[in-house]
Structure 1
Amino acid sequence: MVGLQWSKEGLQLSLRIQPAGLVIAVVYAVACWGARKFSLDQFYLPAGVRVAALLVCPPRLWPYLLLGEYAYFAQMRIPMIGRYGLAWVVLGSVLLMPAVAMIVHLHRRMMAGTSVIWLLSVAASAAIVVTAINLTGSHLLWPVPPAIPVTSSAARMILGDFIAILTLALPALLWTRRRSEPEWSRRFVVPTLAAIALTLLLGISSIVTPPETDGAKASVLLLMALPAIALTCMHGWRGAAIGVPLLNLIIHITTPSTGLPESFDAQTFATQQSMAVVSIALLALGSSISHYRQQYRTREQAEKAALALARTSQISSEIILRERALHLQSSGEGMDVSLSQVVTWLQAHGHHDTAAALLHTSARHSRQFREQASMLYPTALEQLGLYLALQTGGLRESWERSDRMAQPRLAGDPCRLSVDVQLAAYRTLSDAVSLLLGQETGQLRVHVRCGRVRQQRGIVIVVALLDSDRQLSQATAALARERLAARALAYGGAVRCRHNRVSILLTETALPASRWSDALLRTGAA
């Protein structure tokens, strides 16, 4: 690496050579040399090698790529000095890599995003700039300018460089971002392999098609775009990074060639123009799909994090309530012991009537105290489960005093659910019943069912008007969704108000409501 530093003697130039950088330079030079052997003006692979190398290597290693480029041009163009002149050999070789490196550098901010549409800009800019440098040098510096018109040469070279850049830069970009979405390769494995196999099959059929059937061959080449479209729809820009290079390579293999870089086939050139448009469309489509998929994944992760935070907050609140309830129970037990001692003393001194009255009053107040403590936190739920807590706690006594509650229907085994879910169901049921008792008239019925759907355990709570001909008011339905949705969503469920009932689903995992949520709600409402 080259560096500048100041010292007492003045400005000093330091040069540090890394062995790995020399290896990169050699590999790059060999890759360009080998790619040129299989290239045409309308499909010039070294242009793709240049951009792909700049994408794969970090900027600190670009000087070694420049060294490899100069080595490649030296072995190729030094023998041409006698024919084209020294000025062209030097100037035509020294500007290409710096120009393309500057183009890639100007797009580096865009590279950090999820979209890869910037690659089209890099490919088009690099193809135009490199073609302009090559044509300007050949027409100004060659002793005899080329006989091919400038417009024809520019069209061939721009299209050839553009297609070659997409062919090699897309796999390079796929390699550099191989860890950005590791799970993409596990999606649609069978359809992906089928699409790749179909592309190869169509490519083989185009290769073996007789040369005289040019129309059929062109049709087969265009049909190869269908598997590429399927790959793009399945994997976004990564699918396009697989399909587009396959298309371009197969078209290149089927192109008739004289073996010289200047060889040209007009019919294949027309097909390449169509494929260039298809490549642009596929990359743009795939980039959009990947971008919106990433946005959806980000929102989904944020939603899961918010639900987990809400669930943790509710659990923390329950822990505080549990401590208070245990403290109240301890205080109640202490008061019972003290009253028992007072009753015993009164009885020992002959105050039997006073002792009986005090005993009766203390028993009634102790029962009410315990009912209120159980409504603060149902400690019996931890040992006996949700259903027994509902049947023996203060919530049951409160319902009976209202004279508006029918006998609840309880189905399933709640003990298979975690205590957190059972406690959330207890709170949700209490809130739902209180809401309907305050907002509606008439008798209510409660139906609770625990079960499993698609390996997912959950509980469905239905609080409904006993009169099936009545319907919940819009104000009651809106209030139920507002008050009950927070806990339901925190436990991966949903709230639904239909006709005369409010249905609430709670599940073991805090996941967004989906199809099986509807299935559980229908099961509980049946």
Structure 2
Amino acid sequence: MGKRWWTNDWLLQVAVAVGYGLLYLAIHPFSTSHWPIHAGVRLACLLLLPYRYWPALLIGEAVPNGYEVIQCLDSLGPAWVAIRSIPPFAVAMPIVWACRTWMPPFPSKNLVDIKALLICGLLVSGSGMVYSTIAHAVEKNPTTPFAMTSAVGFFLGPYLAILSVVPWVLMAKLDYRETHLREQLRQILASRLFLDTVALVVPAFAVLTWMSEIGNDQVKQIAPIAMFLPMAWLTLKHGWRAAAVAAPLAIACISIPIPILDDFESKTFATQTFLAIGVSCLFALGGRISVQLVQEEIDRNSTLSVQRLARQSLQLSEQRMRQTSQALEYLAGTLHITNGRLLDQMRRIVPNIESHAFYKQAISTQNQVYRLAESMHPVAWRERGLPAALNETVARALDEAGIAYRCEINGRGFTRLAPAVLTATYRTACEAVVYVTSRLACTRVNVVLRGGETHGKRWVVLRVEGVLEETGVASAVYHSGERKRLAAKLGASMLDIPEMRDHVGIFDGALHVRMPSDRLQITALLHDAMQEEQRPELRPAPPLRLWVK
């Protein structure tokens, strides 16, 4: 098979030249002296296309430019035609080449130097000002005398056009992903930047443009300045992309109504100067904000990764404790069977073996193994879930310590919570119970557990309340031994409040402590992270980094 046409270098060069020439002719009717759109298109092509296409671009602009210039031979003179026959593309080429060589606006594929981009636009606009000023100076029978404001106008118009076109082309280049156009379009339409622009910025610009058309002189001066308020708000919220979206809209709203005159009025000069300075500052500010937003996103992803790792570590530790508990239960059962057989044999030799120290030691060892297994991972929790562990394991430990206990469980969704959340809830309950019972005046513990779901996200709230009564100090002293063993029975690590708060924070939760007159309350909120972890991960575009020095 023959080569496809886009693999042939000569045909590709011809296609680039013809395409750019047609684009130049298409946008020419919309370009004015105070907003030459082709200046922005020219710089975008020079920045984004490889050097090998520059000759084709130069030819593509030289042909239509020469055709338009030659028609002005009689009115503007041969000197003007000779200078204007040089395509503006040729004037901008060496400057853009120098910028791409020594101060590249795109140091790498996903790195944008906003400062270099603005400087390149300023230099190209400055070269265009010199070019247009020389042509204006040799003009035959000029309709207006040359003035400094005219030279500045030759600078401001192209610079505003560059700020209007280049950012949009840049965003299209950075966001383009082959074979994902439909998905990218859907993401753009659903993005907060698009919604804020359509819902707030566009209506605000429309109202201010209408006011500048029908209002008096004061309103016409205030309306263009007021357009920077929604632009600044959008930039502060979304970064440089917001400035890239809003700035062309503001420039168009202000530039299009300006009448096309040969002279450069003072009002037009002031408006364009304000636009150029304001938009440049917003781009620099937006670049800095974008850097901060990217760093915040990196930090947030890092935090989520740490939380996910902590949840996995917590669940793995719980599984090991469960396996160890089962092994200890098996060992205790084996000791029970072995001791029973051994005692049956020893009863024939030693009468009343039950009162012997050996028998008591064997029974004590067996019970200690059972208690250790129960403290590591209660049987009620393992077999019947979190409600059973709170109603049985915690209740038995507090009853042995002489503390009244009441547990209230309501809500829904406990069976659908992630195992790690249930584990964290039970461990938090045990730590909170040990903390409130460390007060000697604590005579009663009330536990309230509630589960629910809000906006598709499941959560659980745990409140542990210790009732403090001075009359219970004597009972606490009497049961001081059992109170000291309460942490070991519940498998608690005796965490303090900051440590419990960190433990709850692994599940995007919060922990609060309240101390009314006769009570000590600890409330913990935990969110289920299973939905986030099971959500299919999209393949995001490579992160865009921004240099703003």
How many angstroms apart in 1 are the aligned matches of 2:385 and 2:157?
A: 73
Tell me whether 1:372 sits opposite 2:336 in the alignment.
no
How many angstroms apart in 2 are the aligned matches of 1:252 and 1:458?
A: 54
Matched residue, 2:302: 302
Tell me whether 1:442 sits opposite 2:433 in the alignment.
no
1:411 pairs with one of 389, 409, 422:
409
TM-score for both structures, normalised by structure 1: 0.76
Matched residue, 1:94: 90
1:315–1:432 distance in 2 versus 1, CA, 3 Å: same
1:372–1:115 distance in 2 versus 1, CA, 3 Å: farther
Matched-pair contact (CA < 8 Å) for 2:212–2:223:
yes
TM-score for both structures, normalised by structure 2: 0.73
How many angstroms apart in 2 are the aligned matches of 1:114 and 1:410?
A: 58
Matched-pair contact (CA < 8 Å) for 1:115–1:288:
no
How many angstroms apart in 2 are the aligned matches of 1:280 and 1:493?
A: 43
Amino acid at match of 2:294: Q
1:176 pairs with one of 151, 173, 177:
173
* Partner secondary structure for residue 41 of structure 1: coil
Matched residue, 1:103: 99
How many angstroms apart in 2 are the aligned matches of 1:75 and 1:346?
A: 120
* Cα distance per residue 1:387-437 (max 9 Å; x no partner): 3224444x655444444x331433226445333222222222333444555
1:460–1:39 distance in 2 versus 1, CA, 3 Å: closer
How many angstroms apart in 2 are the aligned matches of 1:18 and 1:428?
A: 73
Q: Which has the higher contact order (CA 8 A, sep 6+)?
A: 2
* Cα distance per residue 1:11-47 (max 9 Å; x no partner): xxxx972644543332223333343433333322221
2:499 pairs with one of 483, 492, 503:
483
Tell me whether 1:252 sits opposite 2:249 in the alignment.
no
How many angstroms apart in 2 are the aligned matches of 1:18 and 1:482?
A: 71
How many angstroms apart in 2 are the aligned matches of 1:200 and 1:378?
A: 68
RMSD of the alignment, in Å? 4.0
Paired residues for 1:347-496 under 5 Å: 349=348, 353-354=352-353, 365-393=365-393, 397-403=396-402, 405-412=403-410, 414-435=414-435, 440-443=439-442, 445-452=445-452, 454-455=454-455, 456-467=457-468, 480-496=496-512
Unaligned runs of 5+ in 2: 1-6, 178-183, 471-493, 533-549
TM-superposed deviation, 1:164: 0.9
Amino acid at match of 1:283: F
Matched residue, 1:505: 525
Structure 1 range deviating more: 425-434 or 293-302: 425-434
How many angstroms apart in 1 are the aligned matches of 2:52 and 2:351?
A: 99
Matched-pair contact (CA < 8 Å) for 1:406–1:443:
no
Paired residues for 1:234-245 under 5 Å: 234-245=237-248
Matched-pair contact (CA < 8 Å) for 2:193–2:242:
no
How many angstroms apart in 1 are the aligned matches of 2:191 and 2:270?
A: 37
Amino acid at match of 1:373: A
Paired residues for 1:25-64 under 5 Å: 25-57=17-49, 61-62=53-54, 64=56
Matched residue, 2:203: 197
Matched-pair contact (CA < 8 Å) for 1:491–1:511:
no
1:162–1:447 distance in 2 versus 1, CA, 3 Å: same
Amino acid at match of 2:98: M
Matched residue, 1:151: 148
* Partner secondary structure for residue 177 of structure 1: helix
Tell me whether 1:128 sits opposite 2:134 in the alignment.
no
TM-superposed deviation, 1:333: 1.9
Tell me whether 1:269 sits opposite 2:269 in the alignment.
yes
Matched-pair contact (CA < 8 Å) for 1:114–1:294:
no
* Partner secondary structure for residue 255 of structure 1: coil
* Partner secondary structure for residue 407 of structure 1: strand
Amino acid at match of 1:199: F
* Partner secondary structure for residue 17 of structure 2: helix
TM-superposed deviation, 1:101: 4.1
Matched residue, 2:157: 160
TM-superposed deviation, 1:226: 4.4
Matched-pair contact (CA < 8 Å) for 1:411–1:450:
yes
Unaligned runs of 5+ in 1: 1-14, 470-477, 513-526
* Cα distance per residue 1:307-327 (max 9 Å; x no partner): 111111111222222222222
1:59–1:466 distance in 2 versus 1, CA, 3 Å: farther
* Partner secondary structure for residue 330 of structure 2: helix
Amino acid at match of 1:318: E
Tell me whether 1:340 sits opposite 2:340 in the alignment.
yes
Q: Between Structure 1 and Structure 2, how many residues are aligned?
A: 478
Amino acid at match of 1:249: A
Amino acid at match of 2:95: A
1:85–1:386 distance in 2 versus 1, CA, 3 Å: closer
How many angstroms apart in 1 are the aligned matches of 2:314 and 2:52?
A: 52
1:453–1:280 distance in 2 versus 1, CA, 3 Å: same
Paired residues for 1:205-244 under 5 Å: 206=212, 209=214, 216-244=219-247
* Partner secondary structure for residue 352 of structure 2: helix
Matched-pair contact (CA < 8 Å) for 2:35–2:158:
yes
Paired residues for 1:67-82 under 5 Å: 67-76=59-68, 82=78
* Partner secondary structure for residue 492 of structure 1: coil
Amino acid at match of 2:381: L
1:379–1:131 distance in 2 versus 1, CA, 3 Å: farther
TM-superposed deviation, 1:487: 2.3
Matched-pair contact (CA < 8 Å) for 1:92–1:134:
no
Amino acid at match of 1:447: V
Matched-pair contact (CA < 8 Å) for 1:48–1:166:
yes
* Partner secondary structure for residue 405 of structure 2: coil
How many angstroms apart in 2 are the aligned matches of 1:446 and 1:183?
A: 51
Matched-pair contact (CA < 8 Å) for 1:489–1:510:
no
TM-superposed deviation, 1:497: 3.2
Matched residue, 1:317: 317
How many angstroms apart in 1 are the aligned matches of 2:380 and 2:55?
A: 74
Matched-pair contact (CA < 8 Å) for 1:40–1:264:
no
* Partner secondary structure for residue 95 of structure 1: helix
* Cα distance per residue 1:34-84 (max 9 Å; x no partner): 434333333222211112223444566555434434445444457769444
* Partner secondary structure for residue 423 of structure 1: helix
Amino acid at match of 2:273: Q
Amino acid at match of 2:57: L
TM-superposed deviation, 1:178: 3.2
Matched residue, 2:538: none
* Partner secondary structure for residue 108 of structure 1: coil
